Amino acid sequence: MGLEERRKREKENRKNAILKAARKLFFDKGFKNVTVESIAKKAELSKGSVYLYFKSKEDIYTQILLSDIDKFHKVMANIIREGQSSSATLMSLANLYTDFFMNDRELFRIMMNYMLNIDHMNLPEEIDHLIVKATNKTIDIIEEIFMIGVRSGEFPPYIDLRQKRNAIWGLLNGTISLHLFTGSEEKRAERIRSTIQTGLNTFLRGMRTPSGNGQ
Amino acid sequence: MGLEERRKREKENRKNAILKAARKLFFDKGFKNVTVESIAKKAELSKGSVYLYFKSKEDIYTQILLSDIDKFHKVMANIIREGQSSSATLMSLANLYTDFFMNDRELFRIMMNYMLNIDHMNLPEEIDHLIVKATNKTIDIIEEIFMIGVRSGEFPPYIDLRQKRNAIWGLLNGTISLHLFTGSEEKRAERIRSTIQTGLNTFLRGMRTPSGNGQ
DNA sequence: GACCATTGGTCAGTAATTGACCATTGTCCA
DNA sequence: TGGACAATGGTCAATTACTGACCAATGGTC
């Protein structure tokens, strides 16, 4: 409760106000279409003040990305739980993954761009690396879930892990892409979730039935 | 959500932080024993800043008094309700009155001082006047309640209103004085409330029974 | 390829905050 | 009694935070 402490706290608050304003704008309009002036306005500050807290527009952007990637990892970290079937785990992964990117369209767009090598935006090396890592994280987790399923006998032992993993990853991201940037806001969450849920269920059923022998 | 508006809001917040800190200190220690430096510390500001928002220590004090007197009037304003016996009204007045001053000992002390002409503290004329007015307010309300009670037949018509009114006022403030500045904090509220409640009930019973004929 | 609009970034000017300092007052002790 | 001293209300020059007019670079248009 000191005086120095109060000033530090207020600085932190200012910075957060800018980040909050910027996040919303970036995620609504994308990096290029947001002006620093508009961020300042939304944060109820002057443009000059924004530059007291961040050294560039890009700096704001990368700090948001870093913090969101961090959140992403936290969300993904505890997906795999004891005593839950791999199918159920995959389903909860799909739901969490969808929910996360529903609230962070910009990050999704960026990850997709990286995946597709469209546009590396000239972000610092370090950020590049982290984004790639975050992108791969989901793939790794899906593979891990499949391995657990095979080990427990839930899935046949002869499946091609890589293939299944990629199919699921594609299903997830393809569906999200399709819905996230098209159509109206209304009931978007429901549409994505139900599409993914039925798709995933169908796929898993296919894996377990003898006719669809996992190949 | 403009920029000018934000600054205005923040000024208001600063001022309120000072008032909040000062109120607590004044009510704990009394005007004389509080230093401006201590107010500043508690509000996490420098002494200089306090003087940006208030022109003197006394100014802080009177602003708190004014705002508290205002609150007091708001609390007292709606005591009298249709369809409630005068006894019940008196009881709720007693409870509200007690609760109010439990949280504002300093104001109580000041009002008592004024009543007893002990110390007028050199507050501006205007404040003096308001404090006297607030003090008298309670007396007037008690009298009004008695009059309603007489009119409705709840109390005998021959009672001396002034006498009864003064007795109740004395009971209230005497009890609060006794408890508010002595003994331990623990269960103080309960002690005051129960003392006043039984005292008031006894008094009212006395007024209604033929033997205690209201004189 | 000249003009213009837009916008990222700068910086001199302004506002808010600080705390060392001063003047006054009350206290204590010789 | 009076003077040394501590405590504290109030001031103000120095520091820190914030602002917005301005500049330079960029991209679009005719």
For residue A212, pLDDT beyond 60: no
What's the pLDDT tens digit per position in B152-210? 999 999 989 999 999 999 999 999 998 887 778 788 888 999 999 999 999 999 887 76
For residue B155, being part of any structural domain is answered with yes
Q: Same domain, yes or no, for B64 and B16?
A: no
Q: Are residues B176 and B71 in the same domain?
A: yes
| Confidence at residue A168, expressed as pLDDT on a 0 to 100 scale | 94
Specify if A213 maps to a domain.
Answer: no
We report the CATH number of the domain holding residue B2 as 1.10.10.60
Residue A163: pLDDT over 90: yes
Predicted-assembly ipTM surpassing the 0.85 threshold: no
Nearest CA in chain B to A1: B44
In chain B, residues with a C-beta closer than 8 Å to the C-beta of A8 are none
| Whether residue B176 is found in the same domain as residue B89 | yes
Q: Give the pLDDT confidence of B114-136 residue by residue, as tens digits.
A: 777 655 566 667 777 888 888 88
Looking at residue B215, its pLDDT comes to 45
Mean pLDDT for B9-24 is 96
A→B interface, C-beta within 8 Å: 1-3, 5-6, 41-42, 44-46
Q: Is the pLDDT of residue A214 over 50?
A: no
With beta carbons less than 8 A apart as the criterion, state whether A143 and A161 touch.
yes
What whole-number distance in Å separates Cα of residue B108 and Cα of residue B92? 18
Range A22-41 average pLDDT: 93
Taking a C-beta distance cutoff of 8 angstroms, is the pair B196, B100 a contact?
Answer: no
A132 or A97, greater pLDDT: A97
**Confidence at residue A123, expressed as pLDDT on a 0 to 100 scale:** 67
Q: Are residues A47 and A92 in the same domain?
A: no
Are A72 and A133 in contact by the 8 Å Cβ rule? The answer is no
* First-to-final CA distance of chain B: 64
Q: Among A50, A56, A48, A52, which residue's Cα sits nearest to residue A20?
A: A50
CA of B37 to C1' of D6 (A): 16
Domain boundary among A37, A54, A71: A54
Rounded-to-integer distance, Cα B203 and Cα B208, Å: 9
Shared domain for B92 and B196, answered yes or no, is: yes
Q: Look at residue A86 and tell me if it is in a domain.
A: yes
- What pLDDT is stored for residue A122 in this prediction? 63
Residue A211: pLDDT band with limits 50, 70, 90: low
User: Which of the two residues, A175 and A121, has the higher pLDDT score?
Assistant: A175
- All residues of chain B having their beta carbon less than 8 Å from the beta carbon of residue A3 are 41, 44-46
**Burial per residue of B2-34, b for 16 or more beta-carbon CB atoms within 10 angstroms, e otherwise:** eeeeeeeeeeeebbebbbebbbebbbeeebeeb
Q: In the predicted model, is pLDDT for residue B213 greater than 60?
A: no
DSSP count for chain B of H helices, then E strands? 9, 0
Nearest CA-CA partner of A139 in A155, A162, A112: A162
A45 found inside a domain? yes
CA distances from residue A36 to A40, A55, A65, A104, B204 in whole angstroms, order as listed: 6, 12, 17, 20, 72
Give the domain CATH number at A168: 1.10.357.10
Domains contained in chain B, number = 2
Give yes or no: residues B102 and B41 share one domain. Answer: no
The protein residues having a beta carbon less than 7 Å from any atom of strand D are A 7, 10-11, 14, 45-49, 51-52; B 3, 6-7, 34-37, 47-48, 51, 55-58
Q: How confident is the model at residue B77 (pLDDT cuts 50, 70, 90)?
A: confident
Tell me if B54 sits within 8 A of B60, measured CB to CB.
yes
Testing the interface with A: which of B44, B45, B47 to mutate, by most A Cβ within 10 A?
B44
Q: Which two tokens stand for residue B196?
A: 């006043």
Which of B3, B44, B45 is closest, CB to CB, to A44? B3
In eight-state DSSP terms, residue A32 is G
CA–CA separation, B98 and B190 (whole Å):
10
pLDDT band at A181 (very low <50, low <70, confident <90, very high): confident
Between CA A59 and C1' C8 the distance (Å) reads 12
Give the whole-angstrom CA distance, residue B208 versus residue A81. Answer: 74
From the CA of A59, how many Å to the C1' of D20?
A: 22
Covered bases, chain C (protein CB within 7 Å): 6-12, 15-20
Same domain for A8 and A91, yes or no, is no
How high is the mean pLDDT of chain B? 88
Indicate the residue of A1, A42, A44 with minimum beta-carbon distance to B44.
A1
Query: Residues A170, A68: one domain?
Result: yes
pLDDT of residue A120: 55
Residue A8 has pLDDT above 70, yes or no: yes
For the stretch A64-111, pLDDT in tens is 988 998 998 889 888 998 889 999 999 999 999 999 998 888 888 888
Q: How far apart are the C-alpha atoms of A106 and A31, rounded to whole Å?
A: 9
Strand C footprint, Cβ within 7 Å: A 3-4, 6-7, 34-37, 47-48, 51, 55-58; B 7, 10-11, 14, 44-49, 51-52
pLDDT reading at A119 higher than 70 = no
Mean pLDDT, range B70-89, rounded to an integer: 90
- Does A114 lie in the same domain as A40? no
User: What is the per-residue pLDDT for B180?
Assistant: 81
Question: For residue A103, what are the contacts with CB-CB under 8 A and spacing of at least 6?
Answer: none
pLDDT at B55 over 80: yes
* Burial of A205 per CB tally in 10 Å (0-12, 13-18, 19+): exposed
Residue A61 shares a structural domain with residue A47: no
How far apart CA B215 and CA B211 sit, in angstroms, is 10
> Residue B215 falls within a domain, yes or no?
no
For residues A153-165, average pLDDT: 91
Residue B59 pLDDT: 94
- Of B53-62, B68-77, B112-121, which range is least confident? B112-121
Taking a C-beta distance cutoff of 8 angstroms, is the pair B111, B135 a contact?
A: yes
Distance B46 CA to D14 C1' (A): 14
> Which tokens hold the place of A80?
């795999």
pLDDT tens for each residue of A196-209: 999 999 999 988 77
Cβ-defined contact of B2 to A44 (cutoff 8 Å): yes
**Is residue B39, in this structure, part of any structural domain at all?**
yes
- Domain interval for residue B49: 1-54
Among B152, B197, B151, which residue's Cα sits nearest to residue B171?
Answer: B197
The mean pLDDT value for A10-30 works out to 94
